[in-house]
């Protein structure tokens, strides 16, 4: 069947040789693939050449993700209809091109589709949400130095379609440094100080660096912005503030911010589980049990990048089993450690815990 649209995949990369073959095999349903390499020193360029990918190399004195992505988009000829932006550590499930053509029409400018940002060892999604990096060729540019976003510049009305028939899976290189992110986020906030998204990301980055007070100040500023209205993200900022206060040994304030997070987004498991973690570290076993059970009452897993993996893996059952053991309820300790092992059968610590519980019960 003849394709209705001209479709291009475009990307930026640096030192991605181990991903090239698998990525190209996934993307080759497109008419062409375009890559801007930003300074690879490994075998990436040879791999791209072997796979007949159109590529250019450009080294940046002051690297910004938006500039690099715009340059890679500029490689795509203007007569293409649809552009698909991916990274080399991402893989489409087969059939994405035909599924895309089935939902695209001449008025569409952008497509939202399934993105599995994190998967377990069996490729079961842990964090799943919609991403929107498929777009019409001439209606978008990338903005912001890091955590860049696709910004509509078309003359008409932006029209989006959403599908669950296209799925992109993420297999990240966990050894890769993200050391450049902090300076780029600070630059991003400097350029757009009232952008709530930028402030949230910067506050989170300060937390990652152990800059507890800077993180608290930045995240509180995020929460104060009139545009900061998305409850999931506000809840995350409150959780991060609590983590900072815990590291400062200011536990009452840490609890207060987690209580705020629960009130902000009571439909999310994450703030309940983080409160359970806090009580676990303080050895308040009955409180751990309370907040874990509160979390388990929430059955729906929202499609958002904000979700934490520990809210949906074996963690809750693990915390419950240890807490019940510590209050002398061995039957429930065994019940929940079995549930944890069922979800995470390769974890030796869980099996060791079960043996301890069984010895306590004289089994």
Residue 177: predicted pLDDT: 67
Q: What is the mean pLDDT of the chain?
A: 95
Tens digits of residue pLDDT in 89-126? 999 999 999 999 999 998 999 999 999 998 887 888 88
Tens digits of residue pLDDT in 269-308? 999 999 999 999 999 999 999 999 999 999 988 888 888 9
Residue 174: predicted pLDDT: 76
Residue 203: predicted pLDDT: 98
**Confidence band (pLDDT; 50, 70, 90) for 362?**
confident
Nearest Cα residue to 89 out of 176, 151, 166: 176
Residue 139: predicted pLDDT: 96
Q: Are 196 and 222 in contact (CB under 8 A)?
A: yes
Distances (CA, A) of 77 to 6, 8, 255: 10, 9, 54
Residue 173: predicted pLDDT: 82
Q: Are 360 and 324 in contact (CB under 8 A)?
A: no
CA 165 to chain centre: 20
Residue 351 has pLDDT above 90, yes or no: yes
Residue 350 has pLDDT above 70, yes or no: yes
Residue 305: predicted pLDDT: 83
Burial letters 225-261, b for 16+ CB under 10 A, else e: eeebeeebbbbbbbbbbbbbbbeeeeeeebbebbebb
- Distance CA(243)–CA(266), nearest Å, equals 19
Burial letters 121-150, b for 16+ CB under 10 A, else e: eeeebbbbbbbebbbbbbbbebbbbbbbeb
Average pLDDT over residues 137-163: 96
Domains and CATH numbers, the chain: 7-170 (3.90.550.10)
Average pLDDT over residues 71-87: 98
- Distance CA(265)–CA(280), nearest Å, equals 22
Average pLDDT over residues 79-92: 97
Residue 1 has pLDDT above 60, yes or no: no
Residue 182: predicted pLDDT: 95
Q: Is the dihedral of CA 135, 138, 140, 143 positive or negative?
A: positive
Tens digits of residue pLDDT in 166-212? 999 999 887 776 778 999 999 999 999 999 999 999 999 999 999 99
Predicted TM-score of the model (pTM) = 0.90
Residue 306: predicted pLDDT: 84
Nearest Cα residue to 26 out of 38, 15, 11: 11
- Distance CA(15)–CA(39), nearest Å, equals 8
Nearest Cα residue to 133 out of 71, 73, 86: 86
Residue 29 has pLDDT above 60, yes or no: yes
């Amino acid at each position: 069947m003849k394709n209705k649209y001209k479709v291009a995949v475009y990307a930026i990369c640096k030192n991605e040789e181990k991903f090239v073959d698998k990525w190209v095999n996934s993307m080759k349903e497109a008419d062409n693939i375009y890559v801007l390499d930003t300074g690879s020193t490994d075998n990436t360029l040879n791999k791209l050449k072997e796979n007949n990918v159109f590529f250019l190399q450009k080294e940046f004195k002051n690297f910004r993700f938006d500039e690099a992505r715009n340059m890679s988009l500029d490689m795509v000829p203007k007569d293409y209809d649809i552009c698909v932006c991916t990274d080399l550590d991402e893989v489409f499930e087969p059939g994405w091109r035909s599924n895309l053509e089935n939902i695209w029409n001449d008025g569409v400018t952008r497509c939202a589709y399934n993105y599995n940002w994190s998967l377990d060892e069996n490729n079961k999604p842990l964090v799943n949400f919609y991403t929107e990096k498929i777009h019409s060729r001439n209606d978008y540019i990338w903005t912001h130095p890091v955590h860049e976003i696709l910004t509509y510049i078309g003359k008409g009305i932006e029209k989006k379609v959403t599908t669950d028939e296209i799925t992109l899976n993420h297999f990240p290189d966990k050894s890769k440094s993200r050391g450049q992110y902090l300076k780029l986020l600070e630059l991003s906030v400097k350029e757009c100080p009232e952008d709530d998204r930028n402030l949230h990301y910067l506050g989170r980055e300060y937390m990652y660096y152990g800059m507890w007070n800077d993180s608290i100040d930045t995240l509180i500023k995020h929460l104060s912005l009139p545009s900061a209205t998305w409850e999931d993200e506000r809840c995350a900022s409150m959780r991060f503030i609590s983590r900072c206060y815990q590291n400062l040994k200011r536990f009452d304030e840490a609890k207060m911010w987690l209580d705020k997070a629960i009130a902000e987004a009571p439909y999310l498991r994450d703030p309940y589980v983080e409160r359970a973690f806090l009580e676990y570290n303080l050895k308040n076993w009955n409180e751990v049990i309370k907040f874990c059970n509160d979390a388990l009452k929430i059955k729906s897993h929202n499609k958002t990048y904000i979700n934490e993996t520990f809210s949906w893996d074996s963690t809750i059952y693990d915390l419950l089993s240890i807490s019940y053991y510590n209050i002398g309820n061995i039957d429930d300790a065994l019940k929940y450690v079995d549930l944890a092992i069922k979800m995470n059968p390769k974890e030796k610590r869980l099996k060791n815990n079960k043996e301890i519980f069984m010895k306590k019960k004289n089994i």
